[in-house]
Structure 1
Amino acid sequence: MELDARKLRILKAVIDEYVLSAAPVGSRSISRRSGLNLSSATIRNEMADLEELGYLEQPHTSAGRVPSDKAYRLYVDSMMRRSRLSEDEVRLIRRYFDRRIDGVEMVMQQTAQALSEVTQYTAMVLPPVLELNRLRHIQLVPLMEGRALLVVVTDTGFARDAVIRVPEHMRVDELEKLSRLLTARLYDCRMDQVAERIQGELGAELRERRAFLSQVAETIERQMTPDARSVELSGATNMLHYPEYSDMAKARSFLAAVEGRDALYGMLKRASQVEFCITIGAENDLAPLQDCSVVTATYRIGELPVGSFGVIGPTRMNYSKVVSVLEYMRRSLGEVLSNYIEEDE
């Protein structure tokens, strides 16, 4: 059933009030504060209808009502207007982005910190995919016998490392020589072409080390795609400030879910397919997040979408503000990354 204009106005007033107060909303409160020019009795009847339609819920201990996930979905899809960031909010964000940048990983950390501070929710950032980065350095660092640390550095400041097996009797000086050769031959090669070149031309040239080079190539290929460990997280404990998470068991469950990062990585990977994504309450697959909303956005380097970031907050979050913050920050983040790459070249 499509809601008429009066029901929509009352529902929006309930949502606005509940976002601010976190307390169940009564008809008298809406009558006094909303400017709807409707009697408390009329509002009460309309709220009863909205409850029957699934847009409002009544907690057992209260005479007031709270919005349902269905109400928030309608609000986000049809009623929300993006808000304008305050000068203080813009200044806070710029304070993070105007700092001296020492590598892209530092940018990811600052982005997560700025986002959690300005929204007061939990922020998460997935770093750029590395396929279109260019290789700057490969180093094979000897460890214990039979092991070496493979370190790969790209033109955007990303460094990735992994422990790999080394053939028996492969000397330290041979590892150093191979590091120099790989760096010289693959310098400025796009990362999505590195593995193919190692296994192809270099494997044919160094046949006696073909199996080892194949292992190097496969490891680099895995390193190109961010994994759960690369998710930058900030403000996980911000959620404990909201009354929805005053229950310690619920709070612990939430913290365990986000600090493990696997769930965040999955959400951010899926979100990277669209400009903006908002999932509300039970729309989230993970049980500890089904009392939360997740808002994510992609960011770009030039015209190319390269990563995603977002926030997790209570379902009564200030959606308008969050979307406006993400819109501003995705542009700022893209500019910072583009400038960093240009300066490094």
Structure 2
Amino acid sequence: MISERQLRILEAIISDFIDTAQPVGSRTISKKYPLGISSATIRNEMADLEELGYLVQPHTSAGRIPSDLGYRLYVDAIVNEHTIGLQEKEMIQSLLLNRIIEANDLAKQASKLLSEFTGLVSIVTIPKFNKCKLANLKLIKVTDSRVLLILVTNTGIVKNIQLAISNADQFILDRISDTMLSFLEGETIEKIDIRSIMRLKDKLQGLGTFVDYLIPILRDALKSLNGTELFVEGLAQILSIQEFANTEKAKTIFEYLKDPDNMELLIEELSSDQLSIKIGSEIKNPILDACSIVSSSYKVDGKSDGKIIVIGSKRMDYGNVVSVVNYISNTLSDVFSGINL
């Protein structure tokens, strides 16, 4: 445990470091922050905080900067979530709800807003398509050898898949579409398997041969819908962060975050239900050991399916980031629950 005075000194050091990106000395703290104690006392307390592991001294003659442990204490015990102003709330709601009808567009806009409000890298995922419920389905003949399968979920996610099907009349495709929808509407996509489709044959008298031909094509198409869709904004922000600027570290982080496979693995490891803040070594990824990640989830049908993530340096403004993440998370939960804001 550290004293209340040490906690106030640590808060001042981290606040100053967030603002300046420069190591902080005792004279700076005594001049800028009304703590009511001398520079010498602050210097002694800073030495104790360093010994306890909350501060580190990057150079012999320099001031101190927070350690991962110091940031963790700051986040858990000191930092307060900011209150988003009415104007900012109205802007977020209008930009998220204005003429957006598809989940993909909504997630993309939410990611863009997150990056603009925080100045950091943002990621928003939409629920895995195969875990959503089927709301509409249509087979449309495009050419003599191609048919377009359109699937729409209850969350507004739309998928278009081209199928290699030859010589299919549209009236037959309409009949199959209507029958499949009446039979499968409300089922989750992952539960629509070969057995489900096979049972349709009894309702499609005279089309048994065509349905047999269609089954393996539909099976392969549905299998392809298992991945996570994510929308990333603000990647270039990494290159402009002061402590990363013009360094190999920034380029390494940038290249890592550009890879969708890396992003998907990172997202899978984050908490799926509540606000989470991981700092430096807590991320357990040496490439991101100079970063912090703030993440949360939003709910679809009462389940925490979509994720919201902000990635930046450990020097991020945690109060602001947490407030924006929470507000956009709650807004998306309301939108996907059908609440009219």
Could you tell me the TM-score, scaled by structure 2's length?
0.86
User: CA deviation digits over 1:141-176, x for unaligned, max 9?
Assistant: 66796x76644233433222446666xxx5343x87
Write the letter of the residue equivalent to 1:133: K
Q: CA separation in 2, counterparts of 1:196 and 1:79?
A: 55
Find the residue that maps to 2:338 and give its secondary structure: helix
Write the letter of the residue equivalent to 2:193: A
Write the letter of the residue equivalent to 1:181: I
Q: CA separation in 1, counterparts of 2:178 and 2:55?
A: 62
Write the letter of the residue equivalent to 1:171: N
Unpaired runs of 5+ in structure 1?
Answer: none
1:109 to partner: Cα distance: 1.0
Residue of structure 2 equivalent to 1:213: 215
Closer, same or farther: CA 226–183 of 1 in aligned 2, 3 Å: farther
Q: CA separation in 2, counterparts of 1:77 and 1:91?
A: 29
Write the letter of the residue equivalent to 1:189: G
1:14 matches 2:9: no
User: CA deviation digits over 1:224-265, x for unaligned, max 9?
Assistant: x442xx210111112222212213422221221112122222
1:124 to partner: Cα distance: 0.3
1:1-345 alignment, distance < 5 Å: 2-60=1-59, 62-130=61-129, 131-139=131-139, 150-162=149-161, 170-173=166-169, 177-178=172-173, 180-187=175-182, 188-192=185-189, 193-195=191-193, 198-202=196-200, 208=209, 209-210=211-212, 212-223=214-225, 225-227=226-228, 230-271=229-270, 273-301=272-300, 303-339=302-338
Find the residue that maps to 1:243 and give its secondary structure: coil
Find the residue that maps to 1:262 and give its secondary structure: helix
Write the letter of the residue equivalent to 2:312: G
Could you tell me the TM-score, scaled by structure 1's length?
0.85
Q: Give yes or no for contact 1:300–1:306 (8 Å, CA) kept in 2.
A: yes
Percent identical: 32
Closer, same or farther: CA 177–270 of 1 in aligned 2, 3 Å: farther
1:179 to partner: Cα distance: 6.2
Closer, same or farther: CA 143–237 of 1 in aligned 2, 3 Å: farther
Closer, same or farther: CA 234–61 of 1 in aligned 2, 3 Å: farther
Closer, same or farther: CA 85–248 of 1 in aligned 2, 3 Å: same
Q: CA separation in 2, counterparts of 1:105 and 1:291?
A: 31
1:122 to partner: Cα distance: 0.7
Find the residue that maps to 2:319 and give its secondary structure: helix
Write the letter of the residue equivalent to 1:191: T
Q: Give yes or no for contact 1:240–1:246 (8 Å, CA) kept in 2.
A: yes
Q: Give yes or no for contact 1:281–1:315 (8 Å, CA) kept in 2.
A: yes
1:32 to partner: Cα distance: 1.5
- What do you get for the CA RMSD once the two structures are aligned? 2.8
User: CA deviation digits over 1:117-153, x for unaligned, max 9?
Assistant: 01111110001233233231243666796x7664423
Q: CA separation in 2, counterparts of 1:180 and 1:257?
A: 47
Closer, same or farther: CA 45–308 of 1 in aligned 2, 3 Å: same
Find the residue that maps to 1:236 and give its secondary structure: coil
Unpaired runs of 5+ in structure 2?
Answer: none
Q: Give yes or no for contact 1:271–1:298 (8 Å, CA) kept in 2.
A: no
Q: Give yes or no for contact 1:293–1:314 (8 Å, CA) kept in 2.
A: yes
Write the letter of the residue equivalent to 1:202: L
Q: Give yes or no for contact 2:198–2:215 (8 Å, CA) kept in 1.
A: no
